[in-house]
Amino acid sequence: MYSNNIEVINDRAFCNLTFALSSKVFMRLSSNAISSLGDNAFDCIPNNVHYLGLQNNRLTALPVEMLKLTNVKELFLQNNPLVRLNPLILKQLGPTLTNLQLDLGRFSTWSSKFSQLRELNYLEANNITSSQKMVFLDFLCRLTASSSTTHG
């Protein structure tokens, strides 16, 4: 479903994907015009989505629907006009997410719930403005310190 000018993912959109009911799903929804997902878009496959590519869309926030995804390991959000990340979604993704890529150019603050991403091995944060760099570096230092006391 890559590069199809899709604007909205409707409720239960993936229920007819029979292969998705019993296997790992690598969902590539990138390079569309997605600005929202229905509250029940992933209802039929919430435990199966392991890769979710939503880069190059029109998302300003992580869709609440992502609270239902329990096994996402890789999440790609680059080139979306994101302005915030829902702390509850970060907490939900925490036990499984290993790779997160996003743009932070429109962010003014970052959620302390980043520390919930305990399995994160790779973070790519793009388009940080020069005025944000010191704030973001300070945030990462505090996050790293918090994470090391939690793990150590």
Count the residues in the chain: 152
Q: Express each pLDDT in 119-139 by its tens digit.
A: 888 888 888 777 667 767 776
Q: Which CATH superfamily includes the segment(s) 8-151?
A: Ribonuclease Inhibitor (3.80.10.10)
Res 20 pLDDT > 70: no
How far, in Å, CA of 1 to CA of 13, rounded?
12
C-beta of residue 57 within 8 angstroms of C-beta of residue 35: yes
Element (H, E) at 103: strand 99-103
Distances (CA, A) of 65 to 39, 42, 80, 104: 5, 7, 17, 21
Best CA proximity match to 3, nearest among 26, 27, 30: 30
Q: Express each pLDDT in 84-118 by its tens digit.
A: 888 899 899 999 999 999 988 887 667 677 778 88
- The better pLDDT of the pair 20, 49 is held by 49
pLDDT given for residue 30 in this prediction: 96
